[in-house]
A and B are shown apart, each in its own frame.
Chain A
């Protein structure tokens, strides 16, 4: 694939805590093409956030480590890249929006300071130029009084405004890839609608690719082109957004879809997936979803299934679809 912007191959990110090995990300493969929005869906502990941190080279040290695999960005290998070189890419070619706009901005610097930081670092702009660009960016993300905002501190802004500042910062160096980790989870629905619309606009304008990490299937339906469903550190299903909602194959995906209350439906019992997400230091031997699966077969508990292509654009990690 020539138009692949990001290629993640067999990524394994483990954490070594005391004498335990926590396999947060355990063999993840995917690619993101230019201009594509890929969503990773999963519950807490599925490894979706650690996947994104691995790409950014921000896996918490010293406990966390990428033990295997490769991450290629525009053909260049990121795993094992020296910190200096990674700093050139991070914030410049790959930018990230974090979940908590409250905690991911520095409270003692002004908004202007924080936006211009990346510009000064990566783009060799003069201070006055950087400031001008910061105002432009803030206007782009919908601040009417951008000239004042750059002199204000994060605490003076609301949650939605802070998230827009985060997006402005992320877009400041025209990144080719934007990683958004639960960008709207902490926000109210009406503000969420604003932010999602903004992300779509920004994407169109800069033609960047987006890796969207979320647990909200509604947000996925609205934003994504392709969807990866993660469970227990592995991708269990990968296909286009239409397929995932119309013909989900993995029992976990279909269970997840059936368990969310839908606004247009009348009240009946919700489908439920029994049990809870397994902890990453003690996965079951076979399929990691087997203990909660309604369609579990004897072989599911013996050996783990592989992620297999079952249709031209549909991969599933489940024995139900394995022709044997």
Chain B
């Protein structure tokens, strides 16, 4: 692996501007071994992420929705290279980062940051807010000491917290305020890509909208690209430009957000959309209630992973894994119902 100097990093970054994609992932597989038996040998794999392709354009928000166990968090962590994929390729700003070592990864990680779900657990409770926000700049050796202090103040102001906060500890803040601190911290080193994993699901409803609005404002101000991972479809719809739907480690559908809600194709997406309780007592209640639970990812069903709960499953679904195909412009789906070229359907 050649080590890029800062100079050629800049050059390739420039050259890559043509595609407009900040990150591209092809055929990502992240498997976790299951060990067992007397010698703790690997006896199987949990296929947390199984063959997912995705790209994120600069400046857009890609939302990933899925239920627990769908692999959305693992996928986010793999893109950040907090986990090394079992197979596939991740290209970030024109650089293949799939197998970079920790130290090689460091200079790229400057450009990607994460906002975590639990604002109570993700901040070190023994550090003052000022130190917490300064830490990433210190780690990445950015700015002079005085500049760092200035920047901490600027960031606090940007996320709407008072200056006095620098001297305080995390326990003195509410959940929403802590999430603001988490966001300020992730922005400290001026990243291009922010991966937000369920950033608002631990917050109260009235606070949730504050944080969502803040995230939209910051996106404009700092020209950020977001990967927004959540289980709440209404929230994802609100913030995203495009949405991917994951189920049991696979991407089932990916489309511009409007398409996904007006014209959902995959039976899973349809069921998911119809499952959301609408805050309107007079709304029509035509509900597709899925039977059963999400299967165990260490032993997924053959063929299409959704077939065990799918109301429209037929013979082919059991035998062949559906390909992830673009059936309309920018609208991808992995379902046999829409692959018209292969075999006549229905």
Contact = CB atoms under 8 A, between A and B. Distances in A.
B207 interface: yes
Interface string B236-258: 01110000000000000000011
Interface string A235-269: 00000011001000000000111011111101101
Contacts of A260: 205, 208-209, 234, 279
Q: Which of B176, B206, B208, B231 has the most CB of A within 10 A?
A: B206
A218 B275 contact: no
B289 interface: yes
B218 interface: no
Given A190-B271, A245-B280, A269 B216 contact: yes
B282 interface: yes
A43 B177 contact: no
B281 interface: yes
A188 B273 CA distance: 12
B278 A269 contact: no
A161 interface: yes
A63 to B, nearest CB: 20
Interface string B263-279: 00000000111111111
Chain A interface bracket (under 10, 10 to 19, 20 to 34, 35 or more): 35 or more
A241 B282 CA distance: 10
Contacts of B207: 43, 276
B233 A259 contact: no
Contacts of A159: 68
Contacts of A272: 206, 209-210, 213
A203 to B, nearest CB: 16
A245 B206 contact: no
Interface string A206-231: 00000000011111111000000000
A190 B205 contact: no
A216 B276 CA distance: 11
Given A160-B293, A261-B212, A276-B177, A218 B277 contact: yes
A158 interface: yes
B159 to A, nearest CB: 14
Contacts of A301: none
A220 B285 CA distance: 14
Given A160-B293, A276-B177, A262 B277 contact: no
B213 A245 contact: no
Given A188-B68, A193-B290, A218 B279 contact: yes
B275 A193 contact: yes
A256 B275 CA distance: 21
Contacts of B278: 218, 221-222, 262-264
Nearest to A224: B281
Contact of B293 (A158, A245, A274): A158
A188 B246 CA distance: 13
A222 B67 contact: no
30 contacts: A43-B204, A158-B293, A159-B68, A160-B293, A188-B67, A188-B294, A193-B275, A193-B277, A193-B289, A218-B276, A218-B277, A221-B279, A222-B278, A222-B285, A242-B282, A245-B281, A259-B205, A259-B206, A260-B205, A262-B278, A263-B234, A263-B237, A263-B273, A271-B209, A272-B210, A273-B209, A274-B210, A276-B177, A277-B204, A277-B206
